[in-house]
Amino acid sequence: MTAHDLLTRFVRDRTGSVAEFALILPLFLLFFLGIIDAGRYAYAFNQGEKATQTGARWTVVTNPVAPQLSSWSLNGASVSTGTLIQGDRIPADALDPITCSSTECTGTGNVPSGLGAPDATAFVSLATRMQEIWPEIEDSNIEVVYRGSGLGYAGNPDGMDVAPFVTVRLKDMSFTSLLLFGATVSLPDFAYTLTMEDGQGTQSN
């Protein structure tokens, strides 16, 4: 029996198979698209996690996006433990959070003076690295936060005085659903934190 004969027999079937198939087909398609969407959502979620992890690793070993951190000396600064002298460990509350976007770095309290425009080269290199993992990332989706960690030494002659926690956050990302006919679904923010390491240079190891 040829394929044409089988198709003709199926179309002429009066036993109810065609009607049953017509009822089941939409449900099957919804189920099939749902499986595809679930896989795509999981993949996008994984991209977000890996992009922030890689971005954090990149940021802690390259020049800080807030350039004032590189030259900020805490030798002689008044902190919760008293006045720091050369070689003193820097307490965590000596640095309040600094938040950097693609356009500005802001912070109040115990932060370096002169915060404003970020280091454009440092931010672009970070964004480029993250976009290699998830091309949909825009500069406006990336945020870098520096906050005190309790690490670092006043008057450090070999690099930055303070060694902050560095958090790379990915925000306002969305997922386009096939099941919902192209509607977008907001994804949660992604964030990953590491402690500053080299804090200088333009390439990750």
- Residue 154, class by beta-carbon neighbours within 10 Å (0-12 exposed, 13-18 middle, 19+ buried)? buried
In whole angstroms, give the CA distance from residue 28 to residue 23: 9
Q: Is the pLDDT reported for residue 11 higher than 70? A: no
Output the CA torsion 49→55→56→61 (10° steps): 150
What is the mean pLDDT of the segment spanning 139-168? 95
Q: How much is the pLDDT for 28? A: 72
How many other CB atoms sit within 10 Å of the CB of residue 72? 18
CB 190 within 8 A of CB 49: yes
Q: How much is the pLDDT for 132? A: 97
Q: How much is the pLDDT for 199? A: 87
CB 69 within 8 A of CB 146: yes
User: 190 or 176, which is more confident?
Assistant: 190
Q: Is the pLDDT reported for residue 172 higher than 80? A: yes
Q: Is the pLDDT reported for residue 130 higher than 60? A: yes
pLDDT in tens, 60-114: 999 999 999 999 999 999 998 899 999 999 999 999 999 999 999 999 999 999 9
Strand (E) positions, the chain? Answer: 78-79, 82-83, 98-100, 105-106, 142-147, 165-170, 174-176, 184-186, 190-195
Q: How much is the pLDDT for 194? A: 97
* Residue bearing tokens 């999981």: 42
Q: Is the pLDDT reported for residue 2 higher than 90? A: no
In whole angstroms, give the CA distance from residue 73 to residue 85: 11
In whole angstroms, give the CA distance from residue 160 to residue 197: 10
pLDDT in tens, 24-51: 777 777 777 778 888 899 999 999 999 9
Looking from the CA of 201 toward its CB, the CA atoms found within 13 Å total: 12
Query: Could you say which DSSP state residue 141 is in?
Result: G
How far does CA 148 lie from the centroid of its chain?
A: 20
Which of 15-19, 122-126, 139-143 has the least mean pLDDT?
15-19
What is the mean pLDDT of the segment spanning 156-171? 94
Strand-pair partners of 169: 143, 191
Domain ranges of the chain: 3-195
In whole angstroms, give the CA distance from residue 116 to residue 60: 20
Q: How far apart are the first and last CA of the chain?
A: 66
What is the mean pLDDT of the segment spanning 139-151? 97
